[in-house]
Amino acid sequence: MKRMALLFVAATMLFGCKKKFDEYYDRPDNLEQPVYQILAAKGNFKHLLAAIDKAGYKNTLSAAGYWTLFAPDDAAFQAYFTANNITGIDGLDSAKCRSIVTYCLVYNAFKEERLADYQSSTGWVENNAFRRRTANYTGVYDAINTSGTPIKAIASNRNNIGTFFYVDGDNNNKYLPYFMSGYFTSKSLTATDYNYFYPATTYNGFNIVDATVLEKDIPAENGIIHVINKVITSLPSIDQYIGSNPNYSEFKKILDKFLVQYVLNQTVTQNYRIVSGTQSDVFTKVYNNALAFSPNNENFLKFQDNDGQADAYSIFVPQNAALTTYINTVLLEHYPTLESLPINVIYDFVNAHMWRTAVWPSKFGSTFNAAGEEARFDPATDVVDKKVLSNGIFYGTSKVQNANVFSSVYGKAYLDPNYSIMTSLLNLDLKFQISNIRQNNTLFLISNAAFNAAGYFADPTVSNNVNEQWRYIPLVGAPLTGSSALVRLQRILNMHVVPGRNIDNLSGSGVAMTYSGEFIKYNNGTVVAAGNGDIPNVANVTATKTAANGTVYYLDKILQFSEKNVGMHIGALAPTTSSEFNNFWQYLRNSSIYNATTGEVQQVAAGSFYTFFIPKNAAIVAAVNAGLLPGTGTVPNMVPNFTPTLAADKEKVNDFIYYHILNKKNIATDGQESGTFETLFKFSNGDPSTIFVNNSSPNNIILNDMLSRIGIVIPGSDNNLSNRITIHLIDNYLRKN
């Protein structure tokens, strides 16, 4: 009996322990049921539950987890069945059910209050999200490779950066877009932006695609449920939509031919063979790394893991007719086929239509692509198709994006193979500047033949550095190659670009400062630079074209820089004593600051810019009588003494000359630049002297010296070009004190 009592006590103790254990670990009475059970209990989700069953997601939604489900009710399914001529859930196979269920199933549980917030790597960013990653993905699919062969393929899940375009284990899950008042307010968007895509749905500040949320924030053991009034089917990616819509077949042909390759994916191939029981290879569809993004990448940029919540791609794709017209009239104006175009033209054309950010309908004019260009479309008239897709926003258009590289003065060289040398040189430094359509430019185009005639050649054998593959063969002297030839070519190139001005008529005469800081002159359809005057030869305009940001003139010869020093040019202006430049020249050539052998003037440094204001003969005589220059005789009838012997008189000559030279400033009568500028003369305390130049209107420069005396540049004897220097005759001498 005693033993039986002990056994009874032990059993009672064990039973009591088990009871306490079960009570501790039992499901709490106040814990919500899982998603699946809550839907069943509500009674108006029989179609969704059947779809979940068919999709194989009953266990997932009945077990532990952390989901957000946007749940269409029975009325939503009934409307879907009617719209698609389906009798009921039996009309949907398991794959279709899986697509519907997984696309409404978002990773992690989000109440309404958090859906508009972005889960950044540093914390929540309020009102900065309009998408969430779903359980839906495409996986392996049937495709046709670039050779026309049927293959198994899988999409890239990263943007291509050369060798990195796919990450194993990433299913490339699609995103579900939604539209909430917090996000719209923070981005200055309105219901108009929403209804642009979904005109049949009322925007209420909590819309999932084109559905309205009927009931929100229903808690479940394994997530949150939001009830919606429409069945949302899996949205295609940009790549999938373009491929499925025949209106964009010409654009797709460009992508497929020039920008897509299929790369064997060893890991996916292994896994697919196990699952499928076949020996099929699987290839990753890879977009060229020159593109702004890969249209089949569902992951956005992945600079942060969740950055797809906060942003998406955008693309504007012209319909076939508009694209074909543009290709034939613009891109192929000088080329026979797309295949013959430089590949960079293809890159630039496609990228002009791609944005690595969401372009909302009200923000076309303020959202910029990688080239810094806004979306140049009228959302009311130019956009014929608009879709919010799984990885971005799609706009089908009735015209192309009028990209700067094609519509600007740069485009006239870029799209013509006869100007490939000039294009290559422009690409080194000036492409961005002269393709900016908001900045006027005048461009003088030089053909490859004209460059060759001047001794300049593109030569790939010269260097492995593509930027230094140049050769210069002068008429006299040793040839130059590589960087030495390039230095000359870049100076020449810069002399053919006039920035900030659209000179739309060369029938008259004038002068223009080029990008090099040197002036060129034009007269009745001819153009010269300083070096052309040395040869001499004149470049003739053979054709003219208008671009979005200026005028392009086609020349038959290059504009050449001078290699002579300024003294040589001043001497050439005074061949006889009758020349109005003669008196100044005589003082200069006999001065201690002049090198008669080289033509150099001391303090006039090679490579710097200067302006010489040379008083005419009578003004020089007046300066002599004013005591500013050495002379002989008595005032007021003194005459110049060009060869003084006294040191003080020699200093007078030097000071006079220096005061008539602007330091580091090249001025011509183009009416472009006025101001107070330093001269080469400095006072004994080191302070520079100055001249005020009034150049506010073309062909009319008025000078004021430091005593407010006036000198006027004499038309017809102005704008004489030298080596980075311009020489003018003036009607008066200038004085510093």
pLDDT tens, position by position, 363-397: 999 999 999 999 999 999 999 999 999 999 999 99
Tokens of 671: 């009416």
In this prediction, residues 463-484 reach a mean pLDDT of 95
Check whether domain 136-174+234-401 has CATH 3.40.50.300, yes or no: no
Alpha-helical regions (H) of 636-700:
647-659
Q: What is the pLDDT of residues 336-356, one digit of tens each?
A: 999 999 999 999 999 999 999
Of 160-164, 315-319, 659-663, the poorest mean pLDDT is in 160-164
Residue 406 pLDDT level (bands cut at 50, 70, 90): very high
Q: Where are the domains of the chain?
A: 136-174+234-401, 406-555, 566-730
With bands split at pLDDT 50, 70 and 90, how would you rate the model's confidence at 459?
very high
Assigned token pair, 298: 């569902």
pLDDT at residue number 16? 52
| CATH number belonging to domain 566-730 | 2.30.180.10
Return the pLDDT at 6: 44
Reported as a single tens digit per residue, the pLDDT across 85-125 is: 999 999 999 999 999 999 999 999 999 999 999 999 999 99
Per-residue pLDDT band at 163 (split at 50, 70, 90):
confident
Find the radius of gyration of the CA atoms of the chain.
Answer: 39
Euclidean distance between CA atoms 315 and 380, whole angstroms = 17
Cα torsion 648, 652, 653, 655 to 10°: value is: 130
Phi, psi (degrees; rounded to nearest 5) at 51: -65, -40
Average pLDDT over the chain, rounded to an integer: 95
Helix (H, G, I), strand (E, B) or coil at 590: coil
3-state secondary structure of 578: coil
Check residue 419 and give its pLDDT: 98
Is the domain defined by 406-555 classed in CATH 2.30.180.10?
A: yes
Matching residue, tokens 């008529």: 505
Which residue's structure tokens are 């090679």?
606
Whether 296 shows a pLDDT value over 50: the answer reads yes
Q: How far apart are CA 315 and CA 355, in angstroms?
A: 6
pLDDT tens sequence across 543-593: 999 999 999 999 999 999 999 999 999 999 999 999 999 999 999 999 999
Phi-psi region of 477 (alpha: psi -120 to 50; beta: other; left: phi over 0): left
* Cα dist from 155 to 111, 140, 540, whole Å: 32, 8, 55
- Give this prediction's pTM: 0.89
Strands 67-72 and 223-228: parallel
User: Per DSSP, what are the bridge partners of residue 692?
Assistant: 676, 704
Per the listing, tokens 């080029």 go with 514
Side-chain-facing half-sphere of 326: CA atoms under 13 Å: 21
Cβ-contact 398, 322 below 8 angstroms: yes
Torsion, Cα of 438, 439, 442, 444 (10° steps): -90
* Tokens at 351, concatenated: 């990228």
For residue 24, the model assigns a pLDDT of 44
Helix (H) or strand (E) holding 624: helix 617-625
Confidence label for 428 from pLDDT (cuts 50, 70 and 90):
very high
Q: Is 699 exposed, middle or buried (0-12, 13-18, 19+ CB in 10 A)?
A: middle
**Distance (Å, rounded) from C-alpha 131 to C-alpha 501?**
47
The total number of residues written for the chain in this structure? 737
Peptide bond into 536 cis (omega under 30): yes
Here the tokens at position 575 are 């061949």
In the prediction, which pLDDT does 12 show?
47
Of 450, 491, 490, 483, the residue nearest 467 (C-alpha) = 483
Nearest C-alpha neighbor of 442 from the set 504, 529, 524, 509: 504
Whether residue 265 has pLDDT greater than 50 = yes
Confidence of residue 30 (pLDDT cuts 50, 70, 90): low
Provide the pLDDT for residue 31: 79
The pLDDT value recorded for residue 7 is 43
Chain segment 172-182, per-residue pLDDT in tens: 999 999 999 99
**Phi and psi at residue 296, in whole multiples of 5°?**
-100, 0
